[in-house]
Amino acid sequence: MEPDADLAALRRLGGFFVLRTGEPPPAPAPLPTLADAYADPDGIPAPTGPAGPADPPDPLSVRVRRVAAGIRAPEARVAASVAHLGLAARLWSAALGCAVLYGRVPGLDPCLLRWDPAGSAPDDLWLTRVRTVPANADTLAATVLLGHLEPLAAALRARYRLAPGLLRGNAASALAGAARQAERWARDEGRPETGERARELAARLLGHPLLAGAGTLGPGGFRRRSCCLYYRVPGGGVCGDCCFRRPPRSSARAGSG
């Protein structure tokens, strides 16, 4: 089925799946694109602590600072990991939602996706031009993993020194979470074939070389082999798919990714 121009069917799956189309509402300054977020801001790393000097005015640093304030992150890398997880979840959800509902995936070129880094969660995304291709695991990997999560991870590693394993775990966790929500919706709506398609695509993607080894997918769901550091947020605890059963006492273990 060819997607409708405003991708309205995605709204049924929940806020993380919504992908706005067209230009964003007028603002004092144009919203940046995700390509802007992945760009190197003159090679200057972001500060490593919340009490340091102001971030450089690049979109990714603005987002991390926004997340840090919202969750009271004790250090910038914790907020950077949570920001990465949130954006990965949005991208996987939109792409996977289109794949299972329409059978097609929009070309999510980072230059065509506008983003409000100062907005609340889930991240607001506007796709300024909708062009689709048939959906399969390869096109999803090219669209999300290669097109977004690899350059995003590189930018975060450069600015916040996040471990590659942590970022890989975040990407896998976000994918598994999107598939789980799509399955839940499909079950509630009596559409088992849609849930099966989401499961199948997620399983194939979790075997991709860029995600392989990030966790295990079994009858009880997905469990990652790294920690996103959320337990370090005041009152945060551990996530449902965390490698830890309870918050670790040593931050060094979780930060190693």
pLDDT of residue 161: 92
Within-domain flag for 138: yes
**What length is written for the chain?**
257
What DSSP character marks residue 104? E
Q: What is the pLDDT of residue 29?
A: 85
CA distances from 186 to 11, 12, 142, 192 (A): 13, 10, 25, 6
pLDDT (tens digit, 0 to 9) for every residue of the chain, 257 residues total? 667 778 999 999 999 999 999 999 888 888 999 999 999 765 544 444 443 344 446 899 999 999 999 999 999 999 999 999 999 999 999 999 999 999 999 999 999 999 999 998 899 999 999 999 999 999 999 999 999 999 999 999 999 999 999 999 999 999 999 999 999 999 999 999 999 999 999 999 999 999 999 999 988 899 999 999 999 999 989 999 999 988 887 544 434 44
Q: Has residue 87 been placed in a domain?
A: yes
What tokens does 126 get? 């506007």
Q: Is 50 a domain residue?
A: no
pTM recorded for the entire structure:
0.89
* Domain-embedded: residue 3: no
For 28, the 3-state DSSP assignment is: coil
- Is 236 among the domain residues? no
Flag whether 224 is in a domain.
no
> Number of folded domains in the chain?
1
In a domain, 102, yes or no: yes
For 169, the domain range is 8-24+32-39+55-214
Buried b (16+ CB within 10 A) or exposed e, 200-230: ebbeebbebebbeebbebeeeebebebbbbb
pLDDT at residue 220, rounded to an integer: 85
Asked if residue 208 is part of any domain, the answer here is yes
